[in-house]
Amino acid sequence: MEQNAHTEHTHYDAEASKIGMWLFIFTELLLFGGLFIVYSVYRFMNPEAFHLAAHELNRTIGAINTILLLVSSMTIAMSTSTLQLKKKGATIGLLTVTIIIGIVFLVNKYFEWGVKFEHGIWPGSEHLLKDFSQGEILFFGLYFVMTGLHALHIIIGLVFILFALVRIQKGTINENRAALLENAGLYWHLVDLIWIFLFPLFYLIT
Amino acid sequence: MQNVHAANEANYLTYQGKYKGLLGWILSTDHKRIGLLYLYSIMTMFSIGVLLGLAMKFELLAPGKTIMEAKTYNATFTVHGVIMIFMVVIPGLPAVFGNFLMPIMIGAKDVAFPKLNLLSWWLYVLGVVLVLTAILFGNGTPDTGWTFYAPYSFKTGANLLPAVFGAFILGFSSILTGLNFLVTIHRLRCPGLTWSKLPLFVWTLYGTAWIQLLATPVVGITLVLIALERVFGVGVFDPALGGDPILYQHLFWIYSHPAVYIMILPAMGAISEIIPTFSQKQIFGYVALIASTMAIAFVGYLVWGHHMFTAGMSGTAQYFFSLLTYIVAIPSAIKVFNWIATLYKGSINVQTPLYWAASFIFVFLIGGLSGLVLGSLATDVHVHDTAFVVAHFHYIVFGGTGFAFFAAIHYWFPKIYGRMYDKTWANTGWLIFFIGFLALYTPMFYLGIMGMPRRYYDYMAEFHSGNILSTFGSWVLATGFIIILINLIRSARKGPKAEMNPWHGKTLEWTVSSPPSLENFDEIPVIAEDDGPYNYK
């Protein structure tokens, strides 16, 4: 899309990209905010059922995933520092680790969902509709929607980081033009932060 | 750098980039071309919406079936609403005039993220295509009303899914435009252009952008939930599974009420530009106008409940929502007083844009005051879901945003195309349009108070005369619209060449050539200490 003299003329403004990213993060927070409202309302209406249903979830996998995401947040934060120190190799290494951790998170999620499916629990499943109370149906509905949407954000975040990684390899992201990597980091922290809320809401509060 | 010199010789309309012809437009990252892309797409969708509106009014010409069955009527008002709300009035002024003029008004060469800007337009097109898919294919056109209320929205057999996704994509497009504008206004103002010297149109775009950014995601997730509900039966809004349909209404209006301020704020901004220019006088109450813009943007968030007074809500909540609704009327009234005060003792230059602006104030006033009837608890119960609501809504949104849109296009037309339109035809078109508007919507206030419900293809015989007048008005309005459209299209191609500053405006866009060069300014302007946007001395 470089057809205009225009784009060539666009100056590099790291501050602008960062403001843009923060604004986008606001919108993401509000997107999940809508879901958190729905969750709170139904939890308030069905405290017993939410309590019961939460026992169905595997806390161990949830805890492991929480630790994984926290570590990945650390590695991506370190990568922005190493980039400033002009250690290209270390930056690429740290980003690769971040991506691998993200993928492990998704694999865990896959198995976690898989077990639910084996037990016959998925939105609209016969077992769920027949043998569970309305509150529990809502709990699992929200569980699948919210963790599913979060997993989608993990995937977007991974693509974003991969994109930054390629650009670092090519040298178009460097210590002087680091905004894209920093934005990938901000986005990844957001994804991490949302999980920090999802984990207690679904797994821990019983 | 050679490119840059070549760029400043040609204006943005004739400039030849890497792509030729149509591709040079639909792949252009130039904010002016993107503004025009929006203008053409929005006017196309508006024309389709008008045709659907005419069909509805024709159906209501006589009681009983006139030209369509009840189901067709339901589909017609749904599609009319979806098109007019999501594709016309929400993007409306920001996407067209914001894109075209805001960078010039702040002395910048483009928006902060030109490629993102183009992406917004492509997302808009994608959203439009998705909604049209829902209309043209599948078993049945959506018939839920533009509000997609649960539980009907996941029970109806109509092809609703693409329409809901289309609305989601359109919301995303709107978010990206807002984000782009916020960053642009923060980062790209030219030297010396402080916040207290920003033109009011830019200020309203700023307030609007915040609403776009902070309210749209809520409806986004709500629409996703409706889609998931339809496909998987999640249960979130389905009473059969324990869900609460009222919660859907809350989430929907948390966005959709602020959305009416997305529609009206930039309209108010355009009027705030036009009034001082044609009064040839400094705007009255510059700071008050900014403060009222931000107050509307803020308080507008907290009034969504007034759409749901009869849906089931605690009495305490009703009192608060009603009170806040009254409070949000105050900043709107402040604006009206400031516009009138600007005209007072001005040297008034009566031109087409001023006719539109003056009629805007007139219809906006009626629309706003009738809104208070709906915001007050006792009267709302009486007129809820009647033609009164339709009349109020069209007075505000069509009379507000629509009239301001036409005011804006007649005001900035010479700048955009470098040509002037035929003023006699423009004034004639305005007069016919205005008369048609009054005849179309005023009877609906009366019909609503008498108890005629909205969204029915049929009515009792006693409402006949009011409906005849209303339908007749719709024809007059359509005639006016055709005259305006033909005059503008013809003048864009063949009109006499326009001067750089035909109205003697004082904002920055009037200091560049008509039409502007590709890069807007040869040199980035510098605003002096004692200079400002409305410096009439």
Per-residue pLDDT of B497-528, as tens digits, reads 999 999 999 999 999 999 999 989 988 999 98
Q: How many CB atoms lie within 10 A of CB B302?
A: 17
Q: Average pLDDT in the A40-66 region?
A: 93
The 3-state secondary structure of B68-99, one letter per residue: CCHHHHHHHHHHHHHHHHHHHHCCHHHHHHHH
pLDDT, tens only, B333-364: 999 999 999 999 999 999 999 999 999 999 99
Give me the pLDDT at residue A25, please: 96
Q: What is the pLDDT of residue B62?
A: 94
Provide the greatest CA pair distance for chain A: 65
A179: contact with B, CB 8 A cutoff: no
Rounded-to-integer distance, Cα B218 and Cα B253, Å: 9
Q: Which helix (H) or strand (E) holds A22?
A: helix A14-45
B486: CATH: 1.20.210.10
| Secondary structure of B3-30 in HEC code, one letter for each residue | HHHHHHHCECCCCCCCCCHHHHHHCCCC
Handedness of CA B467, B42, B152, B394 (dihedral sign): negative
Residues in chain B with CB shorter than 8 Å from the CB of A124 are 232-234
pLDDT tens string A61-98: 999 999 999 999 999 999 999 999 999 999 999 999 99
A3 with B28: Cβ contact below 8 A: yes
Q: What is the pLDDT of residue A4?
A: 40
Q: How far apart are CA A55 and CA A57, in angstroms?
A: 5
The pLDDT, as a whole number, for residue B325 is 95
The confidence score (pLDDT) of residue B139 equals: 78
Say how far apart CA B89 and CA B87 lie, in whole Å.
7
Cα–Cα nearest to B66, from B355, B459, B354: B459
pLDDT surpassing 90 at residue B269: yes
Is residue B50 helix, strand or coil? helix
Q: What is the mean pLDDT of residues B184-209?
A: 95
Q: Are A28 and A153 in contact (CB under 8 A)?
A: yes
Contact between residue B157 and residue B75 where contact means Cβ atoms under 8 Å apart: no
CB-based contacts of B491: which residues, under 8 Å, 6+ apart? B413, B417, B419, B420, B421, B422
Q: Is A23 on the interface with B (CB under 8 A)?
A: yes
Least confident of A32-36, A90-94, A126-130: A126-130
pLDDT of residue B4: 47
Q: How many domains does chain B have?
A: 1
Question: For residues B345 and B347, what is the distance between their CA atoms, to the nearest angstrom?
Answer: 7
pLDDT tens digits, one per residue of A100-126: 999 999 999 999 999 999 999 988 888
| A44 Cβ under 8 Å from any chain B Cβ | no
Which residues, at least 6 apart from B464, have a Cβ–Cβ distance to it below 8 Å?
B62, B63
The per-residue b/e assignment along B153-162, b for 16 or more CB within 10 angstroms, e otherwise, is bbebebbbbb
pTM for this prediction? 0.93
pLDDT of residue A11: 64
Contact A23 B112 (CB under 8 A): no
**The predicted structure's pLDDT at residue B16:** 80
Taking Cα atoms as reference points, which of B367, B459, B447, B441 lies closest to residue B404?
B367
- What percent of chain A clears pLDDT 90, i.e. is strictly above it? 83
3-class DSSP string for B498-521: CCCCCCCCCCHHHHCCCCCECCCC
Q: For B7, which residue in chain A has the nearest alpha carbon? A: A5
Chain centroid offset of residue B529 CA: 35
Hey, is B386 helix, strand or coil? Answer: strand
| Within a domain: B438 | yes
Q: Is A142 on the interface with B (CB under 8 A)?
A: yes
CATH homologous superfamily for A14-204?
A: Cytochrome c oxidase, subunit III, four-helix bundle (1.20.120.80)
Contact status of A107 with chain B (Cβ, < 8 Å): no
pLDDT of B42 strictly over 60: yes
Q: Could you tell me if residue B419 is inside a domain?
A: yes
A-chain residues near B217 (CB < 8 A): 27-28, 30-31, 33-34
Specify the range with the lowest mean pLDDT, choosing from B14-28, B170-184, B189-203.
Answer: B14-28
- Three-state SS for B419? strand
Q: How far apart are CA B274 and CA B282, in angstroms?
A: 11
Q: Decide if B90 is inside a domain.
A: yes
For chain A, the average pLDDT equals: 91
What Å distances lie between residue B289 and A14, A176, A205, B334, B337, CA to CA?
33, 42, 48, 7, 10
> What average pLDDT score do residues B359-372 get?
96
- What pLDDT does B9 receive? 62
Residue B7 pLDDT greater than 60, yes or no: no
Q: Is the pLDDT of residue B537 over 80?
A: no
Local confidence band at B137 (pLDDT 50, 70, 90 cut-offs): confident
How far is B502 from B278, CA to CA, in rounded Å?
A: 11
Confidence band, pLDDT 50/70/90 cuts, at residue B533:
confident
> What are the tens digits of pLDDT across the range B385-429?
999 999 999 999 999 999 999 999 999 999 999 999 999 999 999
CA distance A44 to chain B (A): 13
Residues spanned by the domain of B431: 25-511
Residues with Cβ within 8 Å of B500's Cβ and at least 6 positions away in sequence, in order, are B510, B511, B512, B513, B514
User: Mean pLDDT over residues A11-20, rounded?
Assistant: 88
pLDDT tens per residue across span A175-195? 889 999 999 999 999 999 999
State ipTM.
0.91
Confidence category of residue A10, pLDDT binned at 50, 70, 90: low
Q: Are B402 and B363 in contact (CB under 8 A)?
A: no
Contact A144 B242 (CB under 8 A): no
Could you count the other beta carbons within 10 Å of the beta carbon of residue B522?
10
Q: Supply the pLDDT for residue B157.
A: 84
Domains of chain A, by residue range, sit at: 14-204
Is A149 touching B (CB cutoff 8 A)?
Answer: yes
What does DSSP assign to residue B395? Answer: I
Which residues is B453 bridged to in the sheet? B386
For residue B152, tell me if it sits in a domain: yes
CB contact (8 A) between residue B233 and residue A124: yes
Cross-chain residue pair A134–B225, CB shorter than 8 Å: no
If you compute the radius of gyration of chain B from its CA atoms, what whole number of angstroms results?
Answer: 23
- The pLDDT value recorded for residue B416 is 96
Give A6's pLDDT tier (boundaries 50, 70, 90).
Answer: very low
> Domain for residue B5, yes or no?
no
Residues B408 and A54: their CA atoms lie apart, in Å, by: 56
Quick check: B186 and A19 CB within 8 A?
yes
Q: Which residues pair with A129 in a beta bridge?
A: none
Instruction: List the single residue in B186, B218, B244 with the smallest CB-CB distance to A30.
Output: B218
What mean pLDDT value characterizes chain B? Answer: 93
In tens, the pLDDT along B459-505 reads 999 999 999 999 999 999 999 999 999 999 999 999 999 999 999 99
**Other beta carbons less than 10 A from residue B504's beta carbon:** 12
B13, part of any domain = no
CA distance B26 to B19: 10
pLDDT score of B5 more than 70: no
Q: Tens digits of per-residue pLDDT, B311-331? A: 989 999 999 999 999 999 999
- Return the structure tokens found at A4: 């205009």
DSSP state of A12: P
Give the CA count within 13 Å in the CB-facing half-sphere of A107.
Answer: 8
CB contact under 8 A, A23 and B118: no
Say whether B183 and A19 touch across the interface (CB within 8 A): yes
* A206 pLDDT higher than 80: no
Q: In chain B, which residues have their Cβ closer than 8 Å to the Cβ of A25?
A: none
Å from B322 to nearest chain A CA? Answer: 22
Residue tagged 């602006």 (tokens): B357
List chain A residues with CB under 8 Å of B179.
20, 23-24, 27
